[in-house]
Structure 1
Amino acid sequence: MVEAVPDWLSSAHQAVTTSSPRGLESGQTVQGPVGERTFEAHPIAQGEGAVAWWLVDDTDLRLARRALQVEKERTAFLTQASNLLLSSLNLERCMDVTAQMAAEHLADAALVIAPAHGRMLPVVSCLRGGTPARTSLATDPSLVPGLSEALQGFPPVPSRWIDPAAAPAWLLPEGFGTVGSIVITPLPGHGVPAGVLVLLRRSDHAAFTEGEEVFARLFAARAGAAMSAARLYAEQASITEILMRELLPPTLHQISGVDFAGGYRPSKDHERVGGDFYDVHPATVEGDASLVVLGDVCGKGLQAAVMTGKIRNTLHALLPMAGDHQRMLSLLNTSLLNIENARFATMVLASAARTGSSVQLRLTSAGHPAPLILRSDGRVEEVSTRGTLVGVLPNLVTQTAKVTLEPGDACFLYTDGISEARGGPLGDAMFGEERLKLALSECAGMPAEAVVERVQMLASQWLGSGKHDDMAVVVISAPRTNHLSAVNGRTRGRFTA
């Protein structure tokens, strides 16, 4: 009978009977295995120093506790993974995090393979305890069992179906050693597969169990959702950037001997576009005038910017009529009246042509602040042009004025975001037209770019940190020099188209 008692129970019995059996009243117990089961042994004192043992089979309880602990650890891991993956909308960062977390918690090494770009497969690999490494491989995924199917979003094949010895060299991270088992599972995305997760274990480690493969799929679902969101965000950001580029005001320079400069500040510093806009359209025929357009669409932000885009495109289509401001604005007015939920706009057109050393201007305002002329001696004149708003009344009426700019003179076009900027010492006073004229008079003789920068700086100082409307400025000036080079009308530091 002694030989049939397990060693752990025999040792416990000897220890108890050697000491005082009365100490058993404290309820001390011992645990140990009996075959494939585990038992908890409770000693009970008998007469004359004898001890009896009551054995309770706690195998199922221990397994349940272990399973509960494993589930808690897995839940904590998935929560951590979700937080890390969703904290970034950068696709490369998501791939790095996925590979690193999978290598640390699920396998000895992990690879994240994104859908192919042409013939190249973007791959991120990571060893346990290492850092992710990115590469692009020109390889055929069909050579790895289950990889091509997983990239298309099909369910994973069981790891027991994959022969580790058939794994190609590119699948094994450098220094990994001999692979013992492989799990290949898709990374599901939002309607489109986000890629594939490959888990590797070394040959001296236990193979993946069915439960581990199921858990890997749970992790892959979270990683795939994060990667898909990051890819979608990147695509939307790219589209937004392309569209935004079309809405941004152009960079101005010298055209046909006339200096142009512009500046724009949206109503919100985190936005890039708004309801103010300007364009300069060079003359298509030598000797004709270039057309300057500066406008202000009702409203702020992206919705106003969309309307500015429509107006700019319409004006571009009407360029063959640029010589007739009234007709051009009337056609634009009709176009806006026919657009559902269109916003009205104020606008000023300026045709500028170089004649000898001077610049001839024709200026037409449509409900817009009158242009200001800055003479080389510091005088500031208001141009007598006016007109009705664009997009409000069926019949648009305007009055065109003609102005000559001598060398050193400049024409200043602006939106009401400049003159109506509120700030100052008390924070509620408008910058105003008189203050603007005084600021311009101090810019006499400055290049067009310097005039723009000076006015923008003064308006910003006046505003401080207060709210403001969109602000746009365009300066047209007659250069003081007549010396143009013989090569395409270029001068040092300037460009002439």
Structure 2
Amino acid sequence: MGVCPPALDVRRGAATVTDAASSLLRSPDGLSLALRLEQADDRARYLDALTRGVSALVHPSAALETVVETLTGGLVRAASIVMRTHDGWLWAGQAQGRPLRRTHEQQPSGAQVAVASELMQQQLPEMWVLPPDTPQRERMLAELFGEGPLSRDVDSVAGDLMVHLPLVARGRGFGLLSLVPRPLTAGDDPSSGVAFLEDVADRLAVALDACRVVADNRHTASVLRQSLRPGAVPEGTGLEIATYSRVAQEDLDLGGDFIDVHGPVDDLTLLFGDVAGHGVRAAVTAKRIRGSVRTGSLIDRDPSFLLDLTDRMFATERDELPAGFATALCARASRDGVDLVVDLATAGHPAPLVVRADGTVERPEVRGPALGLGLPGTWDVTSLRLSPGDVVIAFTDGVVETRGPDGLFGEERLAALLGDLAGSAASAFVEALAMEVSGYIDDPEQRDDTTILAVRVLSPGQTGRR
């Protein structure tokens, strides 16, 4: 449903919607001072209600539909709006009393895009006279509205005047609003209301541009978030892997924690870590770290080599990286009979916990300097041997540093929880830990990015799920 601006939602005596529209579009020339003030107030309320309704929407397609339904609700006979976004062209159109037409029903044609682009570039209003009942009229409507039903709908209700209003924001045209004005009263010139329609377009341009920016930011965050998710583990690894991630900036669903699993079945590289900070800046740095490790693994999969290479990347590209430093855990996993041998190195990151099949919880002795701080030191490698049923749990500091009624969540509480889950699937470890941390937190506003990785060794012939 469209917005119901006050100027078209109330009745004054016997006034109808048409009368209200006429009041908005009528030229103030010749009106008394009192009527001019009343008209200015009606116009201001209409513009505020229209743009407030659009500004509340975050999806550009929904915003366009709202605009069209609102305008054809009484102000104009027909309306069409086309807008350029990161995902191509969107449009919506409607003739009064006819169904709403939208992008998913009919993509804008090449002619529509060409005409809209030309009028947008001019950044000036333009009025077209539509000759009645002629092939030229049909051609003009088809160029604007395509060969579909909207063109026929507009033809059935339209008069002989059409107004094109470019949508301009931040100095650039990004859309076009095409309107068929409603005749005011018999003998009135419809063009007298064009000045107010220009005000409508100017206000809509600001609101729609803001909606477009939000959508663009969400799209960018979505693409970046997708690129940070670990790919599918190849068949035949004999591993069951489960992950969980929750970011601090939930409006973007994007943070600096990262997971990656890649390489041949018998020689996997696992990367897990946490970039300082939150949001897009941290995510961009996380993406660079993943890229560095993937590139380095083409030369040597030794975890110490990969962390050293990534640290040098930080040093040479410090001015280009949005976030200053990161912690990471890098492992190389290969089979030795039924067991899994894991060569592990960390860069300032909490050591993972190993949950043996019998419930014993171990913390490997492994340490090294964080990435990007220029600290002296080396990334020594520790080897672990895991048997079927054993599980390795990696976690970011958002788990152990979560504050609750009894202070920090801490590794002692974590180890006790994990020991009770021995023998469970990898997903059970992740889900139980995520629920425990979420329930423990004292102040949700202080939540940090939280990521968990569980890797369970399967017995020969056993299948797991990720």
Asked if 1:231 is matched to 2:231, the reply is: no
Contact 1:120 1:139 in 2 (8 A): no
Aligned partners of 1:138 and 1:119: how far apart in 2? 12
Change (3 A) 1:81 1:276: closer
Asked if 1:317 is matched to 2:295, the reply is: yes
Q: Deviations over 1:346-376 (max 9, x none)?
A: 2222211122221111122232222322111
- How far off is 1:389 after superposition? 2.4
* Partner in structure 2 of residue 384 of structure 1: 365
Q: What amino acid is aligned across from residue 188 of structure 1 in structure 2?
A: L
Aligned partners of 1:453 and 1:120: how far apart in 2? 41
* Partner in structure 1 of residue 82 of structure 2: 114
Q: What amino acid is aligned across from residue 202 of structure 2 in structure 1?
A: A
Contact 2:124 2:165 in 1 (8 A): yes
Q: Deviations over 1:451-491 (max 9, x none)?
A: 222222222232255433322222222213x126xxxxxx4
Q: What amino acid is aligned across from residue 164 of structure 2 in structure 1?
A: T
Root-mean-square deviation (CA, aligned residues, Å) is 3.6
* Partner in structure 1 of residue 277 of structure 2: 299
Moved more, 340-349 or 111-120: 111-120
TM (norm. structure 2) is 0.77
Q: What amino acid is aligned across from residue 293 of structure 1 in structure 2?
A: L
- How far off is 1:93 after superposition? 3.2
Greater relative CO (CA pairs within 8 A, separation 6+): 2
Change (3 A) 1:435 1:153: same
Aligned partners of 2:54 and 2:215: how far apart in 1? 15
Q: What amino acid is aligned across from residue 471 of structure 1 in structure 2?
A: T
Change (3 A) 1:211 1:438: same
* Partner in structure 1 of residue 165 of structure 2: 186
What SS does the corresponding residue of 1:444 show, helix, strand or coil? coil
* Partner in structure 1 of residue 44 of structure 2: 75
Change (3 A) 1:68 1:364: closer
What SS does the corresponding residue of 2:461 show, helix, strand or coil? coil
Asked if 1:442 is matched to 2:420, the reply is: yes
Aligned partners of 2:318 and 2:30: how far apart in 1? 71
The 5 Å alignment of 1:458-497 reads 458-466=436-444, 467-480=446-459, 482-483=460-461, 491=463, 494=465
Contact 1:264 1:473 in 2 (8 A): yes
Q: What amino acid is aligned across from residue 431 of structure 1 in structure 2?
A: F
Aligned partners of 1:358 and 1:148: how far apart in 2? 64
Structure 2: stretches of 5+ with no match in the other structure: 1-28, 142-148
Aligned partners of 2:127 and 2:370: how far apart in 1? 71
What SS does the corresponding residue of 1:390 show, helix, strand or coil? coil
TM (norm. structure 1) is 0.72
The size of the alignment, in residue pairs, is: 417
Aligned partners of 1:404 and 1:234: how far apart in 2? 48
Which residue of the other structure, out of 325, 349, 356, is the alignment partner of 1:368?
349
* Partner in structure 2 of residue 244 of structure 1: 225
Change (3 A) 1:141 1:206: farther
Contact 2:258 2:272 in 1 (8 A): yes
Contact 1:345 1:390 in 2 (8 A): yes
What SS does the corresponding residue of 1:73 show, helix, strand or coil? helix
* Partner in structure 2 of residue 86 of structure 1: 55
Contact 1:370 1:384 in 2 (8 A): yes
Asked if 1:455 is matched to 2:438, the reply is: no
Change (3 A) 1:228 1:187: farther
* Partner in structure 2 of residue 165 of structure 1: 133
Structure 1: stretches of 5+ with no match in the other structure: 1-59, 485-490
